[in-house]
Structure 1
Protein backbone atom coordinates (compact mmCIF):
# COMPACT_ATOMS: atom_id res chain seq x y z
CA UNK A 1 0.00 0.00 0.00
CA UNK A 2 1.52 3.31 -1.06
CA UNK A 3 1.83 6.18 1.40
CA UNK A 4 1.11 9.81 0.68
CA UNK A 5 3.66 12.55 1.13
CA UNK A 6 3.80 16.32 0.67
CA UNK A 7 6.74 17.47 -1.47
CA UNK A 8 7.74 21.08 -2.06
CA UNK A 9 8.86 22.47 -5.37
CA UNK A 10 11.45 25.21 -5.79
CA UNK A 11 10.55 28.09 -3.48
CA UNK A 12 12.96 30.36 -5.34
CA UNK A 13 11.41 29.65 -8.73
CA UNK A 14 7.92 30.09 -7.30
CA UNK A 15 8.86 33.46 -5.82
CA UNK A 16 10.37 34.63 -9.11
CA UNK A 17 7.25 33.68 -11.05
CA UNK A 18 4.93 35.34 -8.55
CA UNK A 19 7.00 38.48 -8.59
CA UNK A 20 6.62 38.70 -12.39
CA UNK A 21 2.88 38.79 -11.85
CA UNK A 22 3.22 41.48 -9.21
CA UNK A 23 5.03 43.88 -11.52
CA UNK A 24 2.71 43.21 -14.45
CA UNK A 25 -0.43 45.20 -15.15
CA UNK A 26 -1.78 42.24 -17.06
CA UNK A 27 -4.57 40.35 -15.23
CA UNK A 28 -4.42 42.81 -12.30
CA UNK A 29 -7.79 43.77 -10.89
CA UNK A 30 -6.92 46.45 -8.34
CA UNK A 31 -4.99 49.68 -8.58
CA UNK A 32 -3.40 51.43 -5.61
CA UNK A 33 -2.44 55.09 -5.52
CA UNK A 34 0.31 55.18 -2.93
CA UNK A 35 2.03 57.96 -0.99
CA UNK A 36 2.41 61.67 -1.58
CA UNK A 37 3.92 60.86 -4.95
CA UNK A 38 0.66 59.12 -5.94
CA UNK A 39 2.57 56.19 -7.36
CA UNK A 40 0.40 53.66 -9.22
CA UNK A 41 0.87 50.05 -8.09
CA UNK A 42 -1.20 47.21 -9.53
CA UNK A 43 -2.23 44.07 -7.73
CA UNK A 44 -4.52 41.06 -7.57
CA UNK A 45 -7.35 41.06 -5.07
CA UNK A 46 -7.41 37.32 -4.50
CA UNK A 47 -3.74 37.13 -3.50
CA UNK A 48 -3.60 40.34 -1.49
CA UNK A 49 -6.94 39.72 0.20
CA UNK A 50 -5.91 36.27 1.36
CA UNK A 51 -2.70 37.63 2.83
CA UNK A 52 -3.96 40.83 4.46
CA UNK A 53 -7.28 41.10 6.29
CA UNK A 54 -7.15 44.91 6.37
CA UNK A 55 -6.79 45.23 2.60
CA UNK A 56 -9.39 42.51 2.11
CA UNK A 57 -11.81 44.69 4.07
CA UNK A 58 -10.99 47.64 1.80
CA UNK A 59 -11.68 45.44 -1.21
CA UNK A 60 -15.04 44.41 0.21
CA UNK A 61 -15.97 48.02 0.90
CA UNK A 62 -15.14 49.01 -2.67
CA UNK A 63 -16.59 45.89 -4.33
CA UNK A 64 -19.37 47.88 -5.99
CA UNK A 65 -16.77 50.12 -7.68
CA UNK A 66 -13.83 47.85 -8.54
CA UNK A 67 -12.54 50.29 -11.17
CA UNK A 68 -11.90 53.03 -8.57
CA UNK A 69 -8.30 53.07 -7.30
CA UNK A 70 -7.61 52.49 -3.61
CA UNK A 71 -5.77 55.52 -2.24
CA UNK A 72 -3.14 54.88 0.45
CA UNK A 73 -1.65 58.33 0.93
CA UNK A 74 0.07 57.62 4.26
CA UNK A 75 2.30 54.78 3.01
CA UNK A 76 5.73 55.07 1.44
CA UNK A 77 5.46 53.54 -2.06
CA UNK A 78 8.75 51.64 -1.73
CA UNK A 79 7.65 50.19 1.61
CA UNK A 80 4.25 49.23 0.19
CA UNK A 81 6.00 47.53 -2.71
CA UNK A 82 8.15 45.57 -0.24
CA UNK A 83 5.02 44.53 1.61
CA UNK A 84 3.42 43.30 -1.61
CA UNK A 85 6.62 41.43 -2.47
CA UNK A 86 6.24 39.52 0.76
CA UNK A 87 2.54 38.85 0.20
CA UNK A 88 3.21 37.36 -3.23
CA UNK A 89 6.50 35.55 -2.65
CA UNK A 90 6.90 35.19 1.13
CA UNK A 91 10.33 36.81 0.69
CA UNK A 92 11.44 40.40 1.04
CA UNK A 93 14.63 42.40 0.61
CA UNK A 94 15.42 44.44 3.73
CA UNK A 95 18.14 46.93 4.57
CA UNK A 96 18.89 48.92 7.69
CA UNK A 97 17.49 51.97 5.91
CA UNK A 98 14.16 50.32 5.11
CA UNK A 99 13.68 48.06 8.13
CA UNK A 100 11.94 50.55 10.44
CA UNK A 101 9.35 51.72 7.92
CA UNK A 102 8.70 48.13 6.91
CA UNK A 103 8.25 47.05 10.53
CA UNK A 104 5.75 49.83 11.15
CA UNK A 105 3.82 49.04 7.96
CA UNK A 106 3.73 45.32 8.79
CA UNK A 107 2.26 46.13 12.18
CA UNK A 108 -0.22 48.64 10.76
CA UNK A 109 -1.50 46.14 8.19
CA UNK A 110 -1.56 43.21 10.61
CA UNK A 111 1.06 41.13 8.78
CA UNK A 112 2.50 39.16 11.68
CA UNK A 113 4.69 36.96 9.47
CA UNK A 114 6.31 40.02 7.91
CA UNK A 115 6.72 41.63 11.32
CA UNK A 116 8.54 38.51 12.51
CA UNK A 117 10.83 38.50 9.46
CA UNK A 118 11.72 42.17 9.87
CA UNK A 119 12.30 41.76 13.62
CA UNK A 120 14.60 38.83 12.92
CA UNK A 121 16.54 40.88 10.38
CA UNK A 122 16.92 43.75 12.85
CA UNK A 123 18.24 41.54 15.65
CA UNK A 124 20.64 39.74 13.31
CA UNK A 125 22.07 43.03 12.01
CA UNK A 126 22.37 45.09 15.17
CA UNK A 127 25.44 47.27 15.44
CA UNK A 128 26.21 50.31 17.56
CA UNK A 129 24.90 52.72 14.90
CA UNK A 130 21.75 50.75 14.04
CA UNK A 131 20.77 49.82 17.61
CA UNK A 132 19.46 53.29 18.51
CA UNK A 133 16.95 53.33 15.64
CA UNK A 134 16.06 49.71 16.27
CA UNK A 135 15.26 50.30 19.94
CA UNK A 136 13.34 53.47 19.11
CA UNK A 137 11.17 51.49 16.66
CA UNK A 138 10.69 48.61 19.11
CA UNK A 139 9.52 50.99 21.83
CA UNK A 140 7.37 53.09 19.49
CA UNK A 141 5.64 50.08 17.94
CA UNK A 142 5.51 48.18 21.27
CA UNK A 143 7.37 45.10 20.04
CA UNK A 144 8.45 43.73 23.42
CA UNK A 145 10.75 40.91 22.30
CA UNK A 146 12.60 43.22 19.91
CA UNK A 147 12.94 45.85 22.63
CA UNK A 148 14.49 43.26 24.95
CA UNK A 149 17.04 42.15 22.37
CA UNK A 150 17.98 45.72 21.44
CA UNK A 151 18.45 46.68 25.09
CA UNK A 152 20.59 43.61 25.70
CA UNK A 153 22.82 44.50 22.74
CA UNK A 154 23.14 48.12 23.85
CA UNK A 155 23.92 47.11 27.44
CA UNK A 156 26.64 44.70 26.33
CA UNK A 157 28.16 47.28 23.97
CA UNK A 158 27.46 50.40 26.02
CA UNK A 159 30.92 51.94 25.65
CA UNK A 160 30.90 51.74 21.85
CA UNK A 161 27.20 52.66 21.67
CA UNK A 162 27.66 55.89 23.61
CA UNK A 163 30.87 56.70 21.75
CA UNK A 164 29.04 56.35 18.39
CA UNK A 165 26.65 59.21 19.29
CA UNK A 166 23.86 57.32 17.51
CA UNK A 167 21.74 57.75 20.63
CA UNK A 168 21.55 61.54 20.21
CA UNK A 169 18.42 61.41 18.04
CA UNK A 170 16.62 58.70 20.00
CA UNK A 171 13.11 59.44 21.19
CA UNK A 172 12.65 60.12 24.87
CA UNK A 173 10.92 56.84 25.73
CA UNK A 174 13.63 54.73 24.10
CA UNK A 175 16.44 56.75 25.66
CA UNK A 176 14.84 56.40 29.09
CA UNK A 177 14.86 52.62 28.60
CA UNK A 178 18.62 52.75 27.99
CA UNK A 179 19.35 55.07 30.91
CA UNK A 180 17.23 52.91 33.23
CA UNK A 181 19.10 49.71 32.39
CA UNK A 182 21.04 48.04 35.23
CA UNK A 183 23.05 45.98 32.75
CA UNK A 184 24.84 48.89 31.05
CA UNK A 185 28.52 48.00 30.92
CA UNK A 186 29.66 51.58 31.40
CA UNK A 187 30.49 53.78 34.38
CA UNK A 188 28.00 56.35 35.68
CA UNK A 189 30.24 59.23 34.60
CA UNK A 190 29.60 58.19 30.99
CA UNK A 191 25.87 57.87 31.67
CA UNK A 192 25.76 61.46 32.95
CA UNK A 193 27.72 62.64 29.93
CA UNK A 194 25.30 60.84 27.58
CA UNK A 195 22.26 62.39 29.26
CA UNK A 196 23.80 65.85 28.94
CA UNK A 197 24.77 65.39 25.28
CA UNK A 198 21.37 63.91 24.37
CA UNK A 199 19.63 66.83 26.06
CA UNK A 200 21.94 69.42 24.51
CA UNK A 201 21.24 67.98 21.06
CA UNK A 202 17.51 68.24 21.65
CA UNK A 203 17.80 71.74 23.07
CA UNK A 204 19.72 72.99 20.04
CA UNK A 205 17.24 71.43 17.60
CA UNK A 206 14.05 72.56 19.34
CA UNK A 207 15.07 75.70 21.20
CA UNK A 208 13.75 74.14 24.41
CA UNK A 209 15.82 74.62 27.59
CA UNK A 210 18.12 71.70 28.39
CA UNK A 211 16.54 71.30 31.83
CA UNK A 212 13.13 70.61 30.27
CA UNK A 213 14.49 68.27 27.61
CA UNK A 214 16.14 65.95 30.15
CA UNK A 215 13.56 66.35 32.94
CA UNK A 216 12.38 62.73 32.83
CA UNK A 217 15.59 61.13 31.58
CA UNK A 218 17.90 62.57 34.23
CA UNK A 219 15.86 60.89 36.97
CA UNK A 220 17.50 57.64 35.81
CA UNK A 221 20.97 58.93 36.82
CA UNK A 222 22.37 56.88 39.72
CA UNK A 223 23.47 59.98 41.62
CA UNK A 224 24.73 58.18 44.74
CA UNK A 225 27.26 56.20 42.70
CA UNK A 226 29.50 59.28 42.52
CA UNK A 227 32.03 59.86 45.28
CA UNK A 228 32.32 63.24 47.01
CA UNK A 229 34.85 64.70 44.56
CA UNK A 230 32.87 63.65 41.48
CA UNK A 231 29.65 64.82 43.03
CA UNK A 232 31.10 68.29 43.64
CA UNK A 233 32.32 68.54 40.03
CA UNK A 234 29.03 67.32 38.57
CA UNK A 235 26.97 69.63 40.77
CA UNK A 236 29.03 72.65 39.66
CA UNK A 237 28.67 71.63 36.01
CA UNK A 238 24.93 71.10 36.38
CA UNK A 239 24.53 74.56 37.95
CA UNK A 240 26.48 76.11 35.05
CA UNK A 241 24.09 74.41 32.60
CA UNK A 242 20.87 75.61 34.21
CA UNK A 243 20.51 72.90 36.86
CA UNK A 244 19.74 70.14 34.37
CA UNK A 245 20.15 67.73 37.28
CA UNK A 246 17.51 68.70 39.89
CA UNK A 247 18.96 70.02 43.16
CA UNK A 248 16.81 67.48 45.00
CA UNK A 249 18.92 64.67 43.54
CA UNK A 250 22.10 66.23 44.89
CA UNK A 251 20.42 66.66 48.28
CA UNK A 252 19.76 62.90 48.34
CA UNK A 253 23.37 62.18 47.45
CA UNK A 254 24.90 64.61 49.97
CA UNK A 255 22.67 63.28 52.73
CA UNK A 256 23.74 59.75 51.84
CA UNK A 257 27.45 60.63 52.00
CA UNK A 258 27.00 62.50 55.28
CA UNK A 259 25.25 59.55 56.88
CA UNK A 260 27.81 56.94 55.87
CA UNK A 261 30.63 59.27 56.93
CA UNK A 262 29.10 59.38 60.38
CA UNK A 263 28.74 55.59 60.44
CA UNK A 264 24.98 55.64 60.20
CA UNK A 265 22.91 53.06 58.34
CA UNK A 266 21.27 54.35 55.18
CA UNK A 267 18.10 52.67 53.86
CA UNK A 268 18.70 52.45 50.11
CA UNK A 269 16.94 49.20 49.21
CA UNK A 270 14.86 49.57 46.08
CA UNK A 271 16.04 53.10 45.36
CA UNK A 272 17.28 53.32 41.79
CA UNK A 273 19.48 56.36 42.48
CA UNK A 274 21.48 54.13 44.81
CA UNK A 275 21.74 50.99 42.65
CA UNK A 276 24.96 49.95 40.96
CA UNK A 277 25.09 49.07 37.27
CA UNK A 278 27.04 46.23 35.72
CA UNK A 279 29.74 48.59 34.41
CA UNK A 280 30.08 50.74 37.52
CA UNK A 281 33.72 51.27 38.54
CA UNK A 282 34.12 50.24 42.16
CA UNK A 283 34.52 52.93 44.83
CA UNK A 284 34.76 52.45 48.59
CA UNK A 285 31.34 53.83 49.44
CA UNK A 286 29.61 51.45 46.98
CA UNK A 287 29.46 48.86 49.76
CA UNK A 288 26.53 50.85 51.14
CA UNK A 289 24.58 50.86 47.85
CA UNK A 290 22.28 48.31 46.25
CA UNK A 291 24.50 45.79 44.43
CA UNK A 292 24.21 45.05 40.74
CA UNK A 293 22.03 41.96 40.30
CA UNK A 294 22.47 39.59 37.35
Structure 2
Protein backbone atom coordinates (compact mmCIF):
# COMPACT_ATOMS: atom_id res chain seq x y z
CA UNK A 1 0.00 0.00 0.00
CA UNK A 2 1.49 3.36 -1.08
CA UNK A 3 1.97 6.11 1.50
CA UNK A 4 -0.06 9.27 1.10
CA UNK A 5 1.90 12.39 0.00
CA UNK A 6 1.18 14.09 3.33
CA UNK A 7 2.59 11.16 5.31
CA UNK A 8 5.64 10.83 3.07
CA UNK A 9 6.45 14.52 3.52
CA UNK A 10 6.23 14.39 7.31
CA UNK A 11 9.52 15.05 9.19
CA UNK A 12 10.65 14.59 12.76
CA UNK A 13 13.37 16.59 14.53
CA UNK A 14 15.49 14.32 16.73
CA UNK A 15 17.54 15.80 19.56
CA UNK A 16 21.05 14.55 20.25
CA UNK A 17 22.94 14.98 23.50
CA UNK A 18 23.15 18.69 24.25
CA UNK A 19 26.03 18.05 26.65
CA UNK A 20 28.37 17.05 23.83
CA UNK A 21 27.48 20.19 21.85
CA UNK A 22 28.08 22.35 24.92
CA UNK A 23 31.42 20.64 25.59
CA UNK A 24 32.57 21.17 22.00
CA UNK A 25 31.57 24.83 21.98
CA UNK A 26 33.27 25.37 25.34
CA UNK A 27 36.58 24.50 23.66
CA UNK A 28 36.12 27.53 21.38
CA UNK A 29 36.03 30.06 24.25
CA UNK A 30 39.06 32.35 23.95
CA UNK A 31 40.51 29.96 21.36
CA UNK A 32 42.62 31.61 18.67
CA UNK A 33 41.81 28.83 16.18
CA UNK A 34 39.35 30.19 13.58
CA UNK A 35 38.82 33.28 15.76
CA UNK A 36 37.89 36.35 13.73
CA UNK A 37 37.34 38.97 16.44
CA UNK A 38 39.29 39.96 19.53
CA UNK A 39 38.78 42.16 22.59
CA UNK A 40 41.26 44.03 24.77
CA UNK A 41 39.68 43.77 28.21
CA UNK A 42 40.25 45.55 31.52
CA UNK A 43 43.14 47.49 32.98
CA UNK A 44 45.25 44.39 32.40
CA UNK A 45 44.58 44.80 28.65
CA UNK A 46 44.03 41.08 28.40
CA UNK A 47 43.48 39.89 24.82
CA UNK A 48 40.43 37.63 24.50
CA UNK A 49 39.49 35.91 21.24
CA UNK A 50 36.03 35.00 19.95
CA UNK A 51 33.99 34.15 16.85
CA UNK A 52 31.68 36.74 15.31
CA UNK A 53 29.01 34.33 14.10
CA UNK A 54 28.58 32.80 17.58
CA UNK A 55 28.42 36.17 19.36
CA UNK A 56 26.15 37.75 16.75
CA UNK A 57 23.56 34.94 16.68
CA UNK A 58 23.39 34.75 20.49
CA UNK A 59 23.47 38.43 21.44
CA UNK A 60 21.72 41.36 19.74
CA UNK A 61 24.24 43.83 21.14
CA UNK A 62 27.14 42.03 19.47
CA UNK A 63 25.07 41.64 16.28
CA UNK A 64 24.53 45.40 16.19
CA UNK A 65 28.19 46.07 17.07
CA UNK A 66 29.52 43.91 14.24
CA UNK A 67 26.96 45.19 11.73
CA UNK A 68 27.95 48.76 12.50
CA UNK A 69 31.63 47.86 12.15
CA UNK A 70 31.10 46.22 8.75
CA UNK A 71 29.20 49.24 7.46
CA UNK A 72 32.10 51.57 8.24
CA UNK A 73 35.01 49.33 7.31
CA UNK A 74 37.31 50.60 4.55
CA UNK A 75 39.66 47.62 4.29
CA UNK A 76 39.78 43.99 5.50
CA UNK A 77 42.64 44.93 7.83
CA UNK A 78 40.28 47.12 9.86
CA UNK A 79 38.35 44.01 10.88
CA UNK A 80 41.44 42.80 12.70
CA UNK A 81 41.44 45.80 15.05
CA UNK A 82 40.33 44.57 18.51
CA UNK A 83 37.43 46.07 20.41
CA UNK A 84 38.53 47.74 23.65
CA UNK A 85 36.53 47.04 26.82
CA UNK A 86 38.65 49.03 29.25
CA UNK A 87 36.16 49.10 32.14
CA UNK A 88 35.35 45.39 32.15
CA UNK A 89 36.89 42.68 34.30
CA UNK A 90 38.41 39.98 32.03
CA UNK A 91 37.04 37.24 34.30
CA UNK A 92 33.56 38.73 33.97
CA UNK A 93 33.81 38.98 30.18
CA UNK A 94 34.94 35.35 29.98
CA UNK A 95 31.91 34.36 32.06
CA UNK A 96 29.66 36.20 29.59
CA UNK A 97 31.36 34.39 26.70
CA UNK A 98 30.95 31.08 28.53
CA UNK A 99 27.19 31.64 28.63
CA UNK A 100 27.04 32.77 24.99
CA UNK A 101 28.90 29.67 23.80
CA UNK A 102 27.47 27.03 26.15
CA UNK A 103 24.25 28.46 27.68
CA UNK A 104 25.78 27.89 31.12
CA UNK A 105 27.92 30.04 33.37
CA UNK A 106 30.40 29.54 36.21
CA UNK A 107 29.84 32.11 38.95
CA UNK A 108 31.52 33.09 42.21
CA UNK A 109 30.58 35.70 44.81
CA UNK A 110 33.46 37.84 43.54
CA UNK A 111 32.09 38.26 40.00
CA UNK A 112 28.36 37.46 40.20
CA UNK A 113 27.18 41.08 40.55
CA UNK A 114 29.40 42.25 37.68
CA UNK A 115 28.16 39.40 35.49
CA UNK A 116 24.59 40.42 36.33
CA UNK A 117 25.38 43.99 35.29
CA UNK A 118 26.87 42.75 32.01
CA UNK A 119 23.91 40.44 31.39
CA UNK A 120 21.55 43.42 31.64
CA UNK A 121 23.75 45.62 29.45
CA UNK A 122 24.14 42.93 26.77
CA UNK A 123 20.46 41.98 26.86
CA UNK A 124 21.16 38.37 27.87
CA UNK A 125 17.98 37.72 29.83
CA UNK A 126 18.61 34.03 30.57
CA UNK A 127 22.05 34.90 31.95
CA UNK A 128 20.43 37.63 34.04
CA UNK A 129 18.04 35.06 35.54
CA UNK A 130 20.88 32.69 36.37
CA UNK A 131 22.75 35.51 38.09
CA UNK A 132 19.70 36.58 40.09
CA UNK A 133 19.13 33.00 41.28
CA UNK A 134 22.78 32.54 42.24
CA UNK A 135 23.07 35.87 44.07
CA UNK A 136 19.77 35.35 45.87
CA UNK A 137 20.90 31.95 47.16
CA UNK A 138 24.41 33.02 48.18
CA UNK A 139 23.82 36.34 49.94
CA UNK A 140 26.18 37.26 52.76
CA UNK A 141 26.18 40.12 55.25
CA UNK A 142 29.01 41.81 53.36
CA UNK A 143 27.46 41.62 49.89
CA UNK A 144 23.75 42.05 50.69
CA UNK A 145 23.69 45.84 50.21
CA UNK A 146 25.79 45.64 47.06
CA UNK A 147 23.29 43.16 45.66
CA UNK A 148 20.40 45.37 46.74
CA UNK A 149 22.03 48.36 45.03
CA UNK A 150 22.41 46.39 41.80
CA UNK A 151 18.78 45.24 42.04
CA UNK A 152 17.55 48.81 42.53
CA UNK A 153 19.78 50.20 39.78
CA UNK A 154 18.74 47.63 37.18
CA UNK A 155 15.13 47.15 38.23
CA UNK A 156 15.51 43.53 39.35
CA UNK A 157 12.39 43.20 41.50
CA UNK A 158 12.90 39.56 42.47
CA UNK A 159 16.50 40.09 43.59
CA UNK A 160 15.52 43.27 45.42
CA UNK A 161 12.95 41.34 47.48
CA UNK A 162 15.41 38.54 48.26
CA UNK A 163 17.96 41.08 49.44
CA UNK A 164 15.44 42.89 51.62
CA UNK A 165 14.35 39.61 53.23
CA UNK A 166 17.98 38.82 54.03
CA UNK A 167 18.63 42.35 55.33
CA UNK A 168 15.54 42.17 57.55
CA UNK A 169 16.94 39.03 59.23
CA UNK A 170 20.47 40.40 59.65
CA UNK A 171 19.88 44.13 60.15
CA UNK A 172 22.27 44.65 63.13
CA UNK A 173 25.19 43.23 61.13
CA UNK A 174 24.16 44.79 57.82
CA UNK A 175 24.14 48.40 59.07
CA UNK A 176 27.77 48.06 60.18
CA UNK A 177 29.02 47.22 56.68
CA UNK A 178 30.72 49.67 54.34
CA UNK A 179 28.33 48.69 51.54
CA UNK A 180 25.40 49.90 53.70
CA UNK A 181 27.06 53.32 54.10
CA UNK A 182 27.62 53.51 50.34
CA UNK A 183 24.03 52.79 49.32
CA UNK A 184 22.29 55.27 47.04
CA UNK A 185 19.26 57.27 48.17
CA UNK A 186 16.91 54.74 46.55
CA UNK A 187 18.79 51.87 48.16
CA UNK A 188 18.54 53.24 51.70
CA UNK A 189 14.88 54.19 51.23
CA UNK A 190 14.00 50.67 50.10
CA UNK A 191 15.43 49.36 53.39
CA UNK A 192 13.79 51.97 55.62
CA UNK A 193 10.39 51.30 54.06
CA UNK A 194 10.43 47.80 55.55
CA UNK A 195 8.65 47.27 58.87
CA UNK A 196 10.45 43.96 59.46
CA UNK A 197 13.96 45.23 60.26
CA UNK A 198 15.43 43.37 63.24
CA UNK A 199 16.94 46.46 64.87
CA UNK A 200 15.63 48.95 67.42
CA UNK A 201 14.89 52.51 66.29
CA UNK A 202 17.81 54.11 68.18
CA UNK A 203 20.63 52.10 66.56
CA UNK A 204 18.84 52.30 63.22
CA UNK A 205 18.69 56.10 63.36
CA UNK A 206 22.37 56.19 64.27
CA UNK A 207 23.19 53.94 61.31
CA UNK A 208 21.23 56.22 58.96
CA UNK A 209 23.06 59.25 60.38
CA UNK A 210 26.37 57.54 59.60
CA UNK A 211 25.09 56.74 56.07
CA UNK A 212 24.16 60.42 55.62
CA UNK A 213 27.57 61.59 56.86
CA UNK A 214 29.48 59.31 54.48
CA UNK A 215 27.27 60.25 51.53
CA UNK A 216 27.50 63.96 52.26
CA UNK A 217 31.30 63.71 52.31
CA UNK A 218 31.24 61.93 48.97
CA UNK A 219 28.91 64.55 47.48
CA UNK A 220 30.99 67.42 48.89
CA UNK A 221 34.20 65.91 47.48
CA UNK A 222 32.65 65.48 44.03
CA UNK A 223 31.10 68.93 44.06
CA UNK A 224 34.36 70.53 45.23
CA UNK A 225 36.29 68.81 42.46
CA UNK A 226 34.02 70.35 39.84
CA UNK A 227 34.05 73.71 41.61
CA UNK A 228 37.81 74.02 41.98
CA UNK A 229 38.73 72.58 38.60
CA UNK A 230 37.23 72.75 35.16
CA UNK A 231 38.24 71.33 31.80
CA UNK A 232 40.15 73.71 29.59
CA UNK A 233 38.26 74.51 26.39
CA UNK A 234 41.30 74.32 24.17
CA UNK A 235 42.58 71.09 25.77
CA UNK A 236 39.58 68.98 26.90
CA UNK A 237 41.80 66.31 28.45
CA UNK A 238 43.44 68.85 30.78
CA UNK A 239 42.07 70.78 33.76
CA UNK A 240 42.72 74.33 34.90
CA UNK A 241 42.05 76.35 38.04
CA UNK A 242 38.81 78.29 38.21
CA UNK A 243 38.90 82.05 38.54
CA UNK A 244 39.22 82.89 42.22
CA UNK A 245 41.09 79.69 43.12
CA UNK A 246 44.52 80.70 44.39
CA UNK A 247 47.59 78.86 43.08
CA UNK A 248 48.79 75.96 45.21
CA UNK A 249 51.76 73.64 44.97
CA UNK A 250 49.74 70.61 43.85
CA UNK A 251 48.31 72.60 40.92
CA UNK A 252 51.54 71.95 39.05
CA UNK A 253 50.11 68.55 38.19
CA UNK A 254 47.45 70.33 36.12
CA UNK A 255 50.05 71.72 33.73
CA UNK A 256 50.71 69.76 30.51
CA UNK A 257 53.95 67.76 30.53
CA UNK A 258 56.92 69.51 28.87
CA UNK A 259 57.52 68.54 25.27
When normalised by structure 1's length, the TM-score is: 0.63
Instruction: After TM superposition, list the pairs within 5 Å mapping 1:158-169 onto structure 2.
Output: 158-162=171-175, 166-169=179-182
Could you say what the CA RMSD is over the residues aligned between the two structures, in angstroms? Answer: 2.7
Deviation, 1:7, is: 4.2
* Structure 1 residue aligned with 2:227: none
**What does residue 36 of structure 2 align with?**
29
1:46 is aligned to: 53
What secondary structure does 2:110 align onto?
Answer: helix
Residues in 2 aligned to 1:5 and 1:57: alpha-carbon distance in whole angstroms: 31
Determine if contact 1:34/1:72 at 8 Å carries over to the other structure.
Answer: yes
Shift in CA distance, 165/109, structure 1 to aligned 2, threshold 3 Å: closer
Residue aligning to 2:90: 77
Q: Deviations over 1:192-231 (max 9, x none)?
A: 121123234445x53859xxxxxxxxxxxxxxxxxxxxxx
1:34 shift after superposition = 2.3
- 5+ residue gaps, structure 2: 1-6, 222-259
SS of corresponding position for 1:96: coil
- Deviation track 1:52-74 (CA, whole Å, cap 9, x = no partner) reads 10111111122244333223333
Q: CA deviation at 1:163?
A: 5.0
Describe the SS at the equivalent of 2:204: helix
1:186 aligns with 2:194: no
* Unmatched tracts of structure 1, length 5 or more: 210-294
Q: Is the 8 A contact 1:131 1:154 kept in 2?
A: yes
SS at structure 2 position matched to 1:21: coil
Query: Can you list the C-alpha shifts for 1:45-99, whole angstroms capped at 9, x where unaligned?
Result: 1111111101111111222443332233332222111110110111212111111
Asked whether the equivalents of residues 39 and 82 of structure 2 are also in contact (C-alpha less than 8 Å), the reply is yes
* Contact 2:31–2:49 (CA under 8 A) maintained in structure 1: yes
Work out which of the residue numbers 210, 216, 219 in structure 2 matches 1:197.
210
SS in 2 for 1:136: helix
Which runs of 4 or more aligned residues in structure 1 lie more than 4 Å from their structure 2 counterparts after TM superposition? 3-8, 163-166
Q: Distance in 1 between matches of 2:121 and 2:219?
A: 33
Of 16-25 and 59-68, deviating more is 59-68
Query: Equivalent residue for 1:282?
Result: none
Q: What displacement does 1:121 show?
A: 0.5
Deviation for aligned residue 1:148: 1.8
SS at match of 2:101: helix
- Match for residue 58 of structure 1? 65
The normalised TM-score by structure 2 is 0.70
Is 1:118 the counterpart of 2:126? The answer is: no
Measure how far apart 1:110 and its partner are.
Answer: 0.8
Count of residues paired in the alignment: 207
Q: Does 1:133 align with 2:141?
A: no
Deviation at 1:165, TM superposition (A): 5.9
* Matched-pair contact (CA < 8 Å) for 2:176–2:207: no
| 3-state DSSP of counterpart to 1:66 | helix
- Whether the aligned pair in 2 keeps the contact of 1:128 and 1:166 (CA below 8 Å) is no
Say if 2:26 and 2:101, in contact at 8 Å, map to a contact too. yes
1:24 Cα deviation (Å)?
1.5
Alpha-carbon contact 2:25-2:102 (below 8 Å) kept: yes
Helix, strand or coil for the counterpart of 2:28? Answer: helix
- What's the offset of the Cα at 1:5? 7.3
